[in-house]
Structure 1
């Protein structure tokens, strides 16, 4: 006796006031898709039974509620993963099915509070703002390209403002304030750094506003958002703080991103809200949990790579700024590297091991080159970091008991590495006197 295997596909269902992602079997009937989509909606959906709704496909038209998706779409294999369907009340959906073309998509992006503004406004903003900003920069003899790029991203963020949701307001509102101030300073000719701050802020805002509406691009949007936040923090620190200390805020941002990446991924993927949905009596099947776990894994990897890359890029410049920069670089390498021990999958361990290890090597190489034998404690600490994070990647082809013992030893070494940082701070005057002399702190 052979059991049939049901293939699970992810569908995006457009409701009158919401957009949800659901996972159903490819041989599910249309009525099941309607029930799951209504239950997963974050906004109240009108009452009535399933027969009061109609499910529309962009090209195949209405899908019968009593027929399977395979039969309705007539493709032999059933619906494709990531397909978009529209769910609407039967009385309002008797017209032709919507076509997902560029014009309608642009109009949807420019629909604040349900009032369509049309795609022409998007084109007008996207063209006029960079041109005006570039003209002002050219008239003042400034860098036209930097201001034009910042203006383009600001225009895009303005066009997406209508998609703002309450949960994104916590991030979007402060970013808009910083972005507006930086854009004004850039236009006044204070320097290209402020244009970079405005551009990074616009990139963060665009990513935050697009995350709820573009499920297929979510990992890339998260990576772009994290990159914009780190680069913007570095540029802002360079513009506000004295030159040697401008990288410290970026290091702090990278460390915070590593420590909070897991919680952020739980929020963006929806995995952290499954318990609340079950408590409200909503249906959460095994396929939905599996899909949420996969999304959380993708989101976590997308956040860790920019943070690890930032740690590697910041290590040597931080160490070159003086005693506090050296301690900050070592602490950043420790945070990034030892964070790998709390990860389970290789795709999450790899960026942290590479980031922490390369950052520690960069600090050690700089110290050995600048302070000669006085940098031996830095080299020892960097080696302890490498050994400590090495236990996170151990286990390829080894017995589980051996892996457990290796990780226990790595935990001990990692704690010793953390204790070495205060010792370096206490003895920094004697050990790094040569490096001190050039420090303004």
Structure 2
């Protein structure tokens, strides 16, 4: 790989962290008791093996890099524009991550790009995105911050985010802010997902290239339904895309495409694809099915696709894999449906989605992972909540795998999608 190729990948893809970046000069062996849903979720993420919590040089550089990317909206400053004094104070423990973020947000670099060069409404929505990791919830929230700018100025506007209870509950003193709206946090409306998608655009673009006017003002004022549009470069209506990878039906909608290789569906997303910005990296709906005569590589790809679907696209460590079920599946003693059941009944699935979530959230995740859809109604939710309360965890998982809907949609051999 050439140096230019490496830099290109580094800017667009390889810097996206799988867990919040955290840095502290002091070790904290005891974990505080979580007093809110956000704080509990943050602690869970930070306790995962992929979280960066070590007090070492690598953790410092990761935290600083993540802070620049988050606060500066993917605009990378030149060496002469970096806040080297603030970086030094953070390394020495003179300031914490929250104060480092404050200095970035109050810098001339930030002000010239995200305050002086844009309208007040755009400045406010960017502050929400960069400092709280979410979009504004309504026009009243935007109006209060616009009024604060008019009366108290830029510095107090930035402080209002960093000193808020929401910031402290979500990120604390040592965690770099990150987009929170992808995780359906408690208290945020469903519309926050679509709005953060509109603000994020894609991870390879910068906020300075979007424009000076608010991206959400019309939606917040009128309350119309904000949809996530498929980018024009992904496909053309009624034809194959220029990349030759996406199939579209006569109505312009994407249609399922059977797998034709053993790559496990890990197709490389386009750099400017909006879907990359909120995690949907594939440009086509790939359907994976166990077939007679599948090679070892194809079976491995099927196993990978099962983990990705049922465990919600996480990184699965070797110690978390269900090796017994994998072996039985590879030998043909378990169908794809029974392999799905084994993963759903596993201790790892239970730990990830049952023990750390409210019952309502657990049920909706089961619908997503096993049936590939959202619950259709409150009555459907109530039915599963009652089953969970009366008959227990195993009965709840089995109810999806043994359902007529599952059999009609996926059968014995197809991985849910």
Identify the TM-score tier after normalising by the shorter chain.
under 0.3
Greater radius of gyration (CA): 1
Please report the TM-score for the alignment, with normalisation by the length of structure 1.
0.27
Q: Which structure dedicates a bigger proportion of its chain to helix?
A: 1
Q: Which has the higher contact order (CA 8 A, sep 6+)?
A: 2
Q: Which structure dedicates a bigger proportion of its chain to strand?
A: 1
